[in-house]
Amino acid sequence: MNLLVVGTVAFDALETPFGKTDKILGGAATYIGLSASYYLKKSNLVSVVGDDFPQEHIDLLNKRGMNTEGLQIKKGEKTFFWSGKYHTDMNTRDTIETQLNVLETFDPIVPENYKDVDFLMLGNLMPSVQQRVLDQLPKRPKLVVLDTMNFWMDHFLDDLMDSLKNVDVLTINDEEARQLSGEYSLVKAAKKILAMGPKYLIIKKGEHGALLFNNNEVFFAPALPLEDVFDPTGAGDTFAGGFIGYLASTGNISFDNMKRAVIHGSAMASFCVEKFGTERMLDLSDAEVQSRLQAFKDLVQVEFDLA
Amino acid sequence: MNLLVVGTVAFDALETPFGKTDKILGGAATYIGLSASYYLKKSNLVSVVGDDFPQEHIDLLNKRGMNTEGLQIKKGEKTFFWSGKYHTDMNTRDTIETQLNVLETFDPIVPENYKDVDFLMLGNLMPSVQQRVLDQLPKRPKLVVLDTMNFWMDHFLDDLMDSLKNVDVLTINDEEARQLSGEYSLVKAAKKILAMGPKYLIIKKGEHGALLFNNNEVFFAPALPLEDVFDPTGAGDTFAGGFIGYLASTGNISFDNMKRAVIHGSAMASFCVEKFGTERMLDLSDAEVQSRLQAFKDLVQVEFDLA
């Protein structure tokens, strides 16, 4: 089934304990689309860049099957830029600079031939911009997944709460789940958040794995213990791309299939952090992906007969 | 097979966001023994208390099958006392007071009829005291599990390194694994620590689960997401007690059985934190234990066919 990815396409400059980069390709939609490309031959992208954005990056997205007809290129404007520095533990980072540039006035336009959407991934953006996408679709997609962050909870909570009524799956991290719900316990947080609208909630805990909740069940997928985490940038988006890419490729949105999708997302994210930026996500082989999935399976595998 | 538990029996005074206690029964060996009692009808205890320690606590240990012949009661001395206060996140705590009392001069004496040990659990104590126990055993136990903490790494590292050569399983938390190895990555940390002597390493991550390593494999057991964590005191010792209790009850020390043992330990720990101190561990029913194990199984259960 088809997939529409909406989100940022950006330049990132990164510094981790292992090195630093100049402006490289980044952005939520980039990571989501690259990750989903291991499940779907084609996807549709809605995003915005400035005319400083090099054609070679667009070629790269196209090469991974992303239709960039919905990528607006703003003449005389500059692409969204973020630079950040990770601490030694890789779980915390400082933002050094954020230049919104083209994002300041981003009005997402869904091209006509995109509009029959089966699976919609709304990457982290201002909630009203995410809602603008939903408003353009003549029929509701089979599944809408929305990612957001604490900044929107701080400054645009009402808009976010409105959007939450229209989504199936919300993906946030543990601190954001606590902030949104006012509950420290993630189990209690999940109950409150599911009452806000989403039918499913994924709480991303980074190196500590991810939790998938619906109203009756909870599933936990570990993160793979890795020798080295080079650069966590994009891991959450890569997770989301693997999650929705797998679901769209199977067309099955049962809770059981979402469990599998969470493992696929986790596997994709475990690749993403092995190199800087998008580098590791550009040409994974089938064998690498299968072997990684097997590692995830083995990690929690145990024969267990209960009395 | 038989189990010898060596460790502290203590008074704790606890404060959590949910309330506070006066001096209540605590200590590593207490939690280990109570937890193991769900797997073994009998266990042997070596520890020390002062004559301020009430008979009713000893009766309680006996009632749960713990042989207290090896519990030294020091006339005119006082029992080890610890008081601490947990922060809102329950993952960090401040020690308010530590009175070593009888622990200052503790010389563990293993009674003659304890000496034929199959499974030995060396709870957190000064490394030289742990070693003194091993030195008294005429034959090596089938399995030796040692728990320790950062304090001994800071002040008695040489003694700890000596003891590590003689143990099969080391249990420590993630920060301690990083400190002992000098590696941030837990995978790298595990490799270095396994080279110090232990054949198996368990890294406890509290609410984020536990990792079991040998030289070739890694297994991850999640913690159960709980609505409320009332008091984390003793959770690590309760985990260890369930782990070694299960192994001793089955007599099987294969890596596969250790995986199951880690789940049992995690299940026991998930009960421990539901009430203050040892309260929840005093009379769990079989049905409660089985249902909790099922919840752990369900938490990561997914049908997954790889291509």
Q: Inter-chain contact A220–B220, Cβ cutoff 8 Å? A: no
* Angle in degrees, CA B70, B74, B77, rounded to 5: 145
Do A207 and A228 meet the contact criterion of CB atoms below 8 Å apart? no
Cβ pair B218:A259 closer than 8 A: no
Q: Match 């940022």 to its residue by tokens.
A: A8
DSSP state of A118: S
Q: Which of A126, A192, A190, A136 lies closest to A159, judged by CA?
A: A126
Kindly state the helix (H) or strand (E) to which residue B157 belongs, with its residue range: helix B157-164
Give the number of beta-carbon pairs within 8 Å between A and B.
95
**Residues from chain B contacting residue A260 (CB–CB below 8 Å):** 302-304
Predicted confidence at residue B18, as pLDDT, reads: 85
Specify the DSSP element, H or E, that contains A85: strand A81-86
Nearest to B290 among A209, A286, A306 (CB): A306
Over residues A75-134, the pLDDT tens digits come to: 999 999 999 999 877 778 899 999 999 999 999 999 999 999 999 999 999 999 999 999
Strand A10-16, strand A19-20: pairing: antiparallel
The nearest alpha carbon in chain B to A300 belongs to: B220
- Summarize pLDDT for A155-181 with one digit per residue, the tens: 999 999 999 999 999 999 999 999 999
Substitution target in A254, A299, A300, A306 with the highest count of B β-carbons within 10 Å is A300
Please name the helix (run of DSSP H) or strand (run of DSSP E) that holds residue A237, with its range, or none: helix A235-250
Contacts of A148 (CB under 8 A, 6+ apart): A124, A127, A130, A160, A170, A172, A176
Spatial CA neighbour of A46 closest among A59, A56, A61: A61
What is the pLDDT at residue B127?
97
Q: How far is A259 from chain B (nearest CA, A)?
A: 7
Per-residue pLDDT of B40-57, as tens digits, reads: 999 999 999 999 999 999
Please give, rounded to a whole number of angstroms, the shortest distance from the CA of A141 to a CA of chain B: 26
Is residue B77 scored above 60 in pLDDT? Answer: yes
Residue A225 to residue B187, Cβ atoms within 8 A:
yes
- Chain A CB contacts of B299 under 8 Å are 218-220
Q: Which residue of A has its CA nearest to B185?
A: A227
d(CA A283, CA B114): 61
What angle separates helix A28-36 from helix A55-63, to the nearest 10 degrees? 30
In the DSSP assignment, the letter for residue A16 is: E
- pLDDT < 70: residue spans in chain A: 306-307
Residue type, A219: F
* pTM: predicted TM-score of the whole model, two decimal places: 0.94
**Mean pLDDT for chain B?**
96
Distance separating alpha carbons of residues A113 and A105, to the nearest angstrom: 24
Pairing state of beta strands B210-213 and A143-147?
unpaired
**Pick from A185, A286, A297: CB nearest B304:** A297
Amino acid at A26: G
Lowest pLDDT segment from A84-93, B199-208, B277-286: A84-93
Shortest distance, CA A233 to any CA of chain B (angstroms): 17
Q: B307 falls in which pLDDT band (50, 70, 90)?
A: low
Q: What is the pLDDT of residues B124-144, one digit of tens each?
A: 999 999 999 999 999 999 999
Q: What is the mean pLDDT of chain A?
A: 96
Choose the closest CB to A302 out of B208, B222, B260.
B260
Q: Where are the beta strands (DSSP E) in chain B?
A: 3-6, 10-16, 19-20, 24-26, 43-50, 66-74, 81-86, 93-99, 119-122, 143-147, 169-173, 200-204, 210-213, 218-221
**In this complex, which of B88, B218, B221 lies closest to A184 when CB atoms are compared?**
B88
On chain B, the residues whose CB falls within 8 A of the CB of A226 are 185, 187
Asked if residue B31 lies in contact with residue B269, where contact means CB atoms within 8 angstroms, the answer is no
Find, among B145, B149, B199, the residue nearest to B176 by Cα. B149
Tell me: the pLDDT tens digits for B86-102? 987 777 889 999 999 99
Given a contact cutoff of 8 angstroms between Cβ atoms, the answer to whether B53 and B68 are in contact is: no
Tell me if residue B81 falls in helix, strand or coil. strand
Q: 3-class SS at A304?
A: coil
Contacts of A256 in chain B (CB under 8 A): 302-303
Domains of chain B: 3-300 (3.40.1190.20)
Query: Which of B16, B208, B273 has the highest number of chain A CBs within 10 A, making it the mutation to test binding with A?
Result: B208
